[in-house]
Amino acid sequence: MNTDSELIHQFSFDREQADSIVITISEAISRVTDTPMEEMPPLQETVDCDALEALIHSFDTDGMAGIGKVQFPFHGCTVRVDTTGTVQVFDGNRRLPSDDAGC
């Protein structure tokens, strides 16, 4: 199970704002890695941004209960996004074990 020492930083996105998830992830990784966004690879090369947005927002429209989470490696970090509006950045490109909330 992950520990707080592995978590580099936690960010929030506005679920009501278009592209907020993608922008928040890009800004978070830029800040954590101290890399200007224009020098990072496009997030779209790592994850289908439209599918990510659709997945996160589907928990509102499909009446799904609980918290959905997705994680993926990006620019030397592991990113975990959940349906509550949270983006967590962990050190390194690795698969984090699931927790009791599911991931």
**What is the per-residue pLDDT for 18?**
64
* 77-82 sheet: strands from edge to edge: 7-12, 86-91, 77-82, 69-74
Summarize pLDDT for 60-95 with one digit per residue, the tens.
655 556 678 899 999 999 999 988 889 999 987 666
Q: Angle CA(10)–CA(65)–CA(58) in degrees, nearest 5? A: 70
Question: Hey, where are the domains in the chain?
Answer: 10-91
Kindly indicate the confidence band of residue 103, based on its pLDDT and cuts at 50, 70 and 90: very low
**What is the per-residue pLDDT for 1?**
39
pTM: 0.77
Collapse the DSSP code of 67 into the 3-class scheme (helix H, G, I; strand E, B; otherwise coil) and give the result. coil
